[in-house]
Chain A
Amino acid sequence: MSVQWTAEQVLALAPDAASAKNGRGLASRRKWVSLGSGPSIVWGECQGSGKDPYRTQIDLREPAFRCSCPSRKFPCKHGLGLFLILVESPTEFVETDPPTWVTDWLATRSQKVEKQAEKQAKQQQQAADPEAQAKRSLARQQKVSAGVQELRRWLEDRIRQGLATVPQESYQFWDNVAARMVDAQAPGLARHLRDCAGIIHSGTGWSDRLLARMGGIYLLTEGFHHLESLPPSVQADVRTQIGWTMNQDEVLKEPAQADLWLVVGQQTEVEERLKVRRTWLYGLGKANFALLLEFAHGKQPFEYSLFPGTCLEAELVFYPSAYPLRALIKNRQEAVLLKQNPPGMNIHQAIGTYHQGFAQCPWLEQFPMLLQAVVPFQEQGIGFIRDEQGMLIPLSPHLDAKQVWQLLALSGGYPLTLFGEWNGSSLVPLQVWVEEECYGLG
C-alpha cells in the first residue's frame, strides 16, 4: 500500500473548496460503516443521508476514484475522506479480501484494456473489408479537396479586394466560410478561420496578424495540393491541421517510449460545456516533452488522474508529426511524487529549441518550455522573465495580474525553475519549482 501521500496532497485533488471541506469532515472513522484494503486498493462504506451507505473505492496506482454517491464532483467528498483516513490513520483499514463491488470495479478497469484490444480486433476486421474503407476515405478526400479549392478562391478574393474593408464585415462573414469547411469535412480549417474573426478585433497591428494567419491557411492548402510529395510526418501534420483525426488505435500501433514522465504543466479550458485539459509531461530519461489532450463533458471527470509535480512511469505513443508532441498513454504504472526540480534550459537555448521545432512543424501553436534559473519581474503590471545570461522574454499579456504577482512572490527576486507554453511572442507560465516545492499556476 502506498502511504507516501500527505493530507495536503490529497486535499489538493479536491475539485473545489467545498469538496475539500466536506472531505475533511468525512475523514473520521465514525463516519464509515466499514473500511478495508487490499493490494493497491482501499474501499469503505460511508453512511450518507440515504438508506444504503455509499460505496467508495480508490485504486491507489493512479490514484483512481469511484463512488456510488450521486455527486458529479470528482473526486467526490467520500473519495477524499477515504483517502485522508488512509493517509492519516492507515491502521483503521482492515486488510481483507475485497467484496464483490470492489472486485467488479477492478475487473472493469482491467477489462477496459481488454476491451480496447477487442475493439482493435474489431476494427481490424472492419479493415479486413478494405474496399469499403478505401471507398469511404476516397469520398472524404474528394470532399476536402473541393472544400480546399473553394477556400483558396475565397482567400484570393479577400486579397484582391483588400483587407482594409474586412473589419466592416460581420462575424457571420467568417462563420459562413468556416461552416462550409465543416461541411467539407475539414474542421481544422474551420477552426483557423474562426480564429481570424478574433484577430480583427485584437487591436493595433490586426491587419499584419490577419495577413500572416491567412498566409498560414493558404500554405496549408498548398501543402494539401502537394500532399503526396511531402514526407509522411509532414503529411500527418497537414492532415491534422485540415481536420483529419487519427484513430487512437492507429496511434497506439506506433512505437512506444517508456520513461519516467513528470507532470510539468496542466491547464483546463472550458468551451461551452466541453472541458479540455492539456497536460504537459517531461520524460526525465530522454528529456523530451509530451502533450496529453483530454476532453470531458460537463462535470464528468477526465480519464486520467494526473497531478502537477507527480511522476508516472509509463509508456507513451506519439501522434505522427514532424515534431511529435501530442501523445497517448499506452500503459502506466503507479504514480510517484518527485521532490526535485526538473532540469531546464536558459532562455536562449529554449528559444533555439523552439526555432528548430517550428522549422519542422510551422503549425505549433503552444511550444513547451522548461526554463531553469529564471527570475520573474514586472514593469507597470506586465510580467517578464529573465535568465542569468541577461536574456528576457515577456509573459503573456492575457495573464491575470494575480498570477504575475504570485509568480513574483514565489521567486522573491531569486531564480526559479519554470514551465510554460510559448506561442512565439509570449509565455504562459503553468508551473514553477522553488526550493524543491512545486506550484501549479494553470
Chain B
Amino acid sequence: MGWDESLWQKVAATALVGTERQPFTVPTATGLLGKLLSQLNSPSPEAVLLTTAATLSLYKRAGGLPAPYSVPRQETCDRTDLPRCSLRAARLLQQMLQGQFTALLPEWFTLAAEAGQRVPELQLPELLDLARQQGGLRAILLPVLGQRGRWLATQNSDWKYAIEVATAEDWETGNQAARLLYLQTLRSTHPEKARELLQATWKQEAAGDRSKFLATFRTGLSSADEPLLAAALGDRSKEVRRVAADLLASLPTSQFCQFITSHTTSYVILNREPTLSITVNLPTEFDPSLLQYGIESKPTQQFASILGEKAWWLLQLIAATPLSVWTNGGIPVAELVNAAKYHQWEAVLLDGWARATKRQQDAEWSEALLQEWMIGKRFERNVALLDINPMVLLEEMPPDRQNAFLISLLRPNQENLDDLLTLWSFRDSYPQWSVELAQLVLDRLGTYMTQHTTFSNLVWDLKAVLQEFARCLPVSLVPEVLKLQSCITRDSPWAPSIEEFVAILLFRKEMAEAFAGDGG
C-alpha cells in the first residue's frame, strides 16, 4: 500500500503557492507507487510537479473503493398493494401532468379509486408535490397513492400530509391543525368520545380554536350534543356563539329550536283560508331573552345598509327555525314559497328559508326554492336576496333530482341561450349529467350553433362554458357529440370550440376505457 493522503497534500500545497516561492521535491512512497514516483525526472520542477500530480490522482482514482454500508436499512414497502393502473391510464396521467387536459386530473383519480387501482410509481413524486401545493387534490389523490405512495411519503417531510393519521397523542400535544384533524376523524366514528375530549379542555382553548373545534360537531350531530352547544351560546367569543347557534338550529328538538320556534310562530302567522297567506307582526322592541340564543338586535355591518333592525331579527329567527314548523299540517313547500311571493317581507322570508334549508340540508325545500328562483324568474324581478347564492342549494338534492331540475330549467325555452349559460352558474356543484340532460344540452347547442354563425359576445361566453360542459357529459354520448360536430362547418366560429369540446370528451372516454380493463 503506497497511498497516503499526505502525499497529495504536499504536492497540492506547493502547486497552490507556486514553485517560484516553494521548491518542489518529489515525495517518496513505498511499493510500486514509490518506484514510479522515483522515476519521474525532468530539469523543470514544474514538469515534475505536474506529472507527480497526474500520477497520484490517477493512482487514487484507479484504487478508490466503495464505502461499506453503515446506515441502518430502511423499511421496505408493503408488497400487498393495490394493482398499478394500466400503461394506458399511466400515459394519460403523464399527459395531464405535462399540461394537457390538466383540469381532468380529479376525474382520473376518481376513476382509479373506483377501479381500486393506484398511480404508477414513476409519477408519484410529481403527484405528491402537486397535491402539496394544491390542497384540494389531496382527498382524491390519497386513496390512489397505494402503499408505495405512502411508503415514499414517509421519507420526505414535504409529503407528510399524505401519511398524517391523527392520533390521540396529537390531541394532547399536537398543533392546532393536527388536533383539529383528530377531532374531525373522531367525530365521524365516535362522536360522543370527541365531545367528551373537547368538553374536558373547553375552558383552556383559545377562542379561535374553540369555534373551529366546535364546527366539527356538524359531523355526527345529535341531541346529545345539545348541552355543550347550549353552553357555548353563552361564550365570550361571538364566532363561537354563531357556530353553536348554527348547529343548534339543525337540532329541531333542542330547547334552542323550541324557544326560537315559539318566537317565530308568534311573529309569523300562516293563514290557510281562503288561500294560504302569511301575516308578519313584529314587536316594536327587541326581546332581550333572544340574545342568549345568538339572535342579535343590530344588523352586522354587512347587512346594516340593506336591512332594518326588524327585518334583521326576522331573518335570524327564520334561519334558526326548523323547516318542519312551516310544513306541519301538510302545507306543501311550493305553496309556502308562492305565498311569500310579492309579500312585503318576501326577501327576508325566502332568504331565511334558504339559510335554514342549507343548515338543515333539506332536499325538498332546496328544490322548491330553486324552482322559485330559477324557473319563477325571481332573479329577474331584482328582489335582492341577501348574501346566499341559491345555486348552493342544488348540492342538497339527490343526483336524479338535480338532473330533473336542470332539465325542467332548460326544456321550455328552445331558442334562448341564456338558460344554457345559466347552467354554468351551477359549475361548483355540477352533478354528473344524466344522458337525458346531456342530450338536451347537445340539441340546444346544435340548434343554436347552426343558426348563429356570427361572432358575438355570446360566442365568447359559450366558448368558456363549453369546456365545462365537456366535463359533465356522460362519455357514452361521444357519437352524438361527433354528430353535432359534423353539423358545424369548418369555417363556423364554433368550429374550434367544438373541436376542443370533442377532444376533452374523447380524452375522458379514453380514461374511462383505460380503467375499464381495456387498457392493454
Residues of A within 8 A of B (CB): 6-8, 11, 16-18, 20-21, 24-25, 152, 155-157, 159-164, 207-208, 211-212, 214-216, 218-219, 222, 347-348, 351, 355, 358-359, 362, 377-379, 386, 390-393, 401-402, 405-406, 408-410, 412-414, 424-425, 434, 439
Contact = CB atoms under 8 A, between A and B. Distances in A.
Interface in B324-341: none
A156 B44 CA distance: 8
Interface centre among B21, B56, B87 (most CB of A within 10 A): B87
Given A6-B87, A8-B91, A211-B53, A412 B76 contact: yes
A325 B114 CA distance: 50
A161 B69 contact: no
Contacts of A156: 44, 46-47, 50
A215 B51 contact: yes
Interface residue tally of chain B, by bracket?
Answer: 35 or more
A24 B8 CA distance: 60
Contacts of A207: 12, 15-16
Contacts of B57: 211-212, 215-216
A410 B124 CA distance: 9
B125 A391 contact: no
Given A211-B11, A405-B152, A414-B77, A160 B62 contact: no
A2 to B, nearest CB: 17
A355 B59 CA distance: 10
26 contacts: A11-B91, A17-B94, A17-B100, A156-B46, A159-B50, A211-B12, A211-B15, A215-B50, A216-B54, A218-B53, A222-B51, A347-B66, A355-B62, A377-B71, A390-B69, A391-B67, A392-B68, A392-B69, A409-B121, A409-B124, A409-B148, A410-B122, A412-B148, A413-B151, A414-B77, A424-B64
A238 to B, nearest CB: 13
B520 A402 contact: no
A156 B54 CA distance: 14
Contacts, number: 164
Given A156-B47, A156-B50, A405-B156, A21 B62 contact: no
Contacts of A391: 66-69
Contacts of B94: 17
A162 B46 CA distance: 10
B148 A6 contact: no
Interface string B54-84: 1111100111111111110011110000000
Nearest to B68: A390
Nearest to B46: A156
Nearest to B156: A405
B264 to A, nearest CB: 59
A20 B99 CA distance: 12
B253 interface: no
A17 B95 contact: yes
B49 interface: yes
A100 B148 CA distance: 54
A208 B152 contact: no
A386 B152 CA distance: 18
B18 interface: yes
B15 A405 contact: no
A211 B510 CA distance: 59
A155 B47 CA distance: 9
Interface in B442-456: none
B66 A392 contact: yes
Nearest to B17: A162
Label chain A's interface by main secondary structure: helix
Contact of B54 (A8, A163, A219, A386): A219
A424 B62 CA distance: 8
B503 interface: yes
Nearest to A355: B62
A124 to B, nearest CB: 40
Nearest to A424: B61
Interface in B29-52: 44, 46-47, 49-52
Contact of A379 (B18, B55, B71, B75): B71
A402 B11 CA distance: 40
A208 B88 CA distance: 51
Contacts of B262: none
B155 interface: yes
Contacts of A390: 68-69
Nearest to A207: B16
Q: Which 5 A-B pairs have CB atoms at the shortest separation, nearest pair first?
A: A162-B18, A215-B54, A215-B53, A413-B76, A412-B77
B98 interface: yes
B126 interface: yes
Interface centre among B56, B87, B125, B510 (most CB of A within 10 A): B125
B77 A413 contact: yes
A216 B56 CA distance: 10
Nearest to B24: A159
Interface string B106-141: 000000000000000110111001000000000000
A374 B71 CA distance: 15
B503 A25 contact: yes
Interface in B1-32: 8, 11-12, 15-21
A414 B76 contact: yes
Given A159-B46, A215-B50, A218-B51, A408 B155 contact: yes
A402 B8 contact: no
Given A159-B46, A219-B54, 17 more contacts: A17-B99, A159-B18, A161-B20, A207-B16, A211-B11, A214-B53, A215-B54, A218-B53, A359-B62, A379-B71, A386-B69, A392-B66, A393-B66, A406-B122, A410-B121, A410-B122, A424-B64
Contacts of A218: 47, 50-51, 53-54
Contacts of A351: 64-66
B504 to A, nearest CB: 12
Contacts of A160: 18-20, 46
B490 to A, nearest CB: 10
Contacts of B77: 412-414
A439 B122 contact: yes
Contact of A164 (B17, B52, B99, B129): B17
Contact of A413 (B15, B18, B55, B74): B74
Contacts of B88: 7-8
A80 to B, nearest CB: 12
Given A162-B18, A162-B21, A208 B68 contact: no
Nearest to B126: A402
Nearest to B47: A156
Contacts of B125: 401-402, 405-406, 409
Contacts of B74: 377, 413
Contacts of A222: 51
